[in-house]
Amino acid sequence: MPQQPQPIAGRYELLEEINSGGMGDVWRGYDAVLDRPVAVKVIRQQAVAGSPQLAAEFAKRFKREARITARIQHPGVPQVYDAVLDDTDTAYERLFLVMELVDGVPLSSYIHPEHPLPVSWAVAVAAQVATVLSYAHEVPVIHRDLKPSNILVARDGTVKVLDFGIAAILRTDVTKLTATGSPIGTYQYMAPEQVRGGRTTPQTDLYALGCVLHELLSGRLLFTADSEYMVMHQHVNAAPIPLRELRPDVPAALEDLVLHLLLKAPEARPADVQEVYERLRPFLPPPGEKAVPGETGPEGAPDPTGIFRNPYAPRARAGAGRVAATPGGPDAVPAAPAPVPAQLREEINEAYAHSDALLAEERFAQAAEVLGEIIEPAARALGSENRKVLELRMQRAAIRLLGADYRAALPEFDALADAYARTGGPTSERARACRAQAARCRAELGQVTDALATLRNVLDVVRAVDGDVSEEAVELRRDIGMLLLAQGQAAEVHAILEPLHDDLRLVFGPDDEMTEEVAEALALIRLDLDGPTA
């Protein structure tokens, strides 16, 4: 097994390389201080090759550009959390950008010459990119390397523009930091002024946006040739093929905009990105309009038109669209338990041990992630409702609850409750426990009415099975009382907590933690109920 890289700055752990490019590698990382996943951009050491003076200038620019990039406050730009100049290795200094980890798919994954993207989908992406650029250009920050692989479409349809500032950090117009001295950028999207090594401006990003929009709508690169040099020569000298010659259904005004963006002289292009957005606006769906079939992009792809159809819409309701773990109703017969192979058993034990160690350090997000990595292979080998698999999922859900990640824990507890109802019966202990935990998550998320209804239903079952003073029953009675207390229903709370307090004193004693908690709540209620009246 390869040796894990040392944590950066004592807190950022590099877990898995997720992308590699000419300027550096991107790792999925973990922030041990704030217990959250991060993306870590590791700037290639070759970029700093040269004299000590060049290396010092590079580090200085790195810090400056990271600070400037962090000033772009827009949801379409992954947040910059930290910029680290790490000199723990005596051989050289290493440069890292620590950023928001985005769950999304590169735009390049959706481009195909035989499957053109819907006009509204392509325009929605371009409009979001234009919005991001408007905030960046105001700072001012010029991207310099805009291309489909630097644009992610997140699961909710939000477009994220990556690698702001990286090209500026490595630009050659001051220190010639690249080994070849060639211009920084990607030759398929390089504006004529970049090819010539001239000054870059916001219009440089507009040219690249024109290249991207042309590719989205046509399914092919703006220029192709047998060599990099010939493509760059075309950017400087060749006229682009109008979009409607490649795809007749593209509106004429949209073709005109793309040709305007692709003009050779920077000053001949649109005045600014705000003008570009206004010219894209007529092709965007208006608020409230429903999508017609085929308008929302490739099957399974996120829908970037959604933020225009439902601007500032709330999150989807918890549990919306949730699918049961496996088919079958309450009467489904569980499959016979599969034997656990020795190697898988060892891997499960290692995952528990690793997760427990992280949990002891209150690294909740990472502890849950460690279990998640073994759940899928275990489910494939043993079945999704095997006892071992359900126990792993139960532990992960419990960790998420402990870490206050109620939104992630809720659907897991709901699915587990259904699974345990199928395998052990709807009144089984584990099914009850999962329904109660799901209710607690709902309460934390503000869904108090649903939470109370579920807790009362579970309590009815527990009373019928184990009586009114079992540990499970008193916890449920306490939770119901405290939820009602938060809603200000003092009389109902008093009717629930007073007999509970008597039971707790009798069974657990007056010094028990829950007994004291309920006594304090009753004291507050009595102050309100028995206070002076007019």
Say yes or no: 80 and 150 in one domain: no
In this structure, is residue 203 part of a structural domain? yes
Residue 336 above 60 pLDDT? Answer: no
Q: Of 404, 420, 441, which marks where a domain is finished? A: 404
Across 351-367, average pLDDT: 91
CA dihedral 213, 217, 222, 226 (to 10 degrees): 130
In this structure, is residue 377 part of a structural domain? yes
Say yes or no: 60 and 144 in one domain: no
Q: Is residue 213 very low, low, confident or very high in pLDDT (cuts 50, 70, 90)? A: very high
Neighbours of 183 (CB within 10 A): 22
Q: Please give the structure tokens belonging to residue 449.
A: 């009415």
Q: Please state, in angstroms and rounded to a whole number, the distance separating the CA atoms of residues 300 and 155.
A: 10
Residue 180 above 80 pLDDT? Answer: no
* Cross-strand pairs, 16: 28
Say yes or no: 148 and 267 in one domain: yes
pTM of the model: 0.62
Say yes or no: 230 and 293 in one domain: yes
18: CATH: 3.30.200.20
Note down the domain range covering 365: 345-404
DSSP 175-187: H--SSS-PPSS-G
What is the per-residue pLDDT for 86? 67
In this structure, is residue 247 part of a structural domain? yes
Say yes or no: 126 and 152 in one domain: yes
Residue 173 above 50 pLDDT? Answer: no
Predicted confidence (pLDDT) per residue in 10-33, tens digit: 899 998 888 776 567 889 999 988
Q: Of 404, 426, 446, which marks where a domain is finished? A: 404
Q: Of 53, 78, 99, which marks where a domain is finished? A: 99
Say yes or no: 238 and 360 in one domain: no
In this structure, is residue 70 part of a structural domain? yes
**Cβ-contact 51, 138 below 8 angstroms:** no
In this structure, is residue 438 part of a structural domain? no
Neighbours of 126 (CB within 10 A): 28
Neighbours of 99 (CB within 10 A): 25
In this structure, is residue 416 part of a structural domain? no
Say yes or no: 141 and 39 in one domain: no
DSSP 374-429: HHHHHHHHH-TT-HHHHHHHHHHHHHHHHTT-HHHHHHHHHHHHHHHHHHH-TTSH
Q: Is residue 65 very low, low, confident or very high in pLDDT (cuts 50, 70, 90)? A: low
Q: Is residue 325 very low, low, confident or very high in pLDDT (cuts 50, 70, 90)? A: very low
Contacts of 249 (CB under 8 A, 6+ apart): 119
Q: Please state, in angstroms and rounded to a whole number, the distance separating the CA atoms of residues 200 and 144.
A: 7
Domain count across the chain: 3
Q: Please give the structure tokens belonging to residue 384.
A: 């999704």
Average pLDDT, the chain: 83
Say yes or no: 161 and 279 in one domain: yes
What is the per-residue pLDDT for 246? 96
In this structure, is residue 184 part of a structural domain? yes
Q: Is residue 45 very low, low, confident or very high in pLDDT (cuts 50, 70, 90)? A: low
Say yes or no: 87 and 124 in one domain: no
In this structure, is residue 334 part of a structural domain? no
Say yes or no: 33 and 142 in one domain: no
Name the amino acid, one letter, at 43: I
DSSP letter at 30 equals: E
**Cβ-contact 161, 153 below 8 angstroms:** no
Q: HSE, CB side, 13 Å, CA atoms: give it for residue 97.
A: 30
Cis peptide before 140 (omega within 30 of 0): yes
Q: Please state, in angstroms and rounded to a whole number, the distance separating the CA atoms of residues 301 and 109.
A: 10
Q: Please give the structure tokens belonging to residue 451.
A: 């939470």
Q: Please state, in angstroms and rounded to a whole number, the distance separating the CA atoms of residues 166 and 470.
A: 61
| Closest among 86, 66, 85 to 77, alpha carbons compared | 66
Say yes or no: 229 and 350 in one domain: no
Name the amino acid, one letter, at 15: L
Active site residues: 145
Residue found by looking up tokens 């690294």 in the block: 363
Say yes or no: 87 and 122 in one domain: no
Q: Please give the structure tokens belonging to residue 212.
A: 């991207």
**Cβ-contact 325, 415 below 8 angstroms:** yes
CA dihedral 114, 119, 125, 129 (to 10 degrees): 110
Across 484-511, average pLDDT: 84
Name the amino acid, one letter, at 445: L
Residue found by looking up tokens 């040099």 in the block: 229
116: CATH: 1.10.510.10
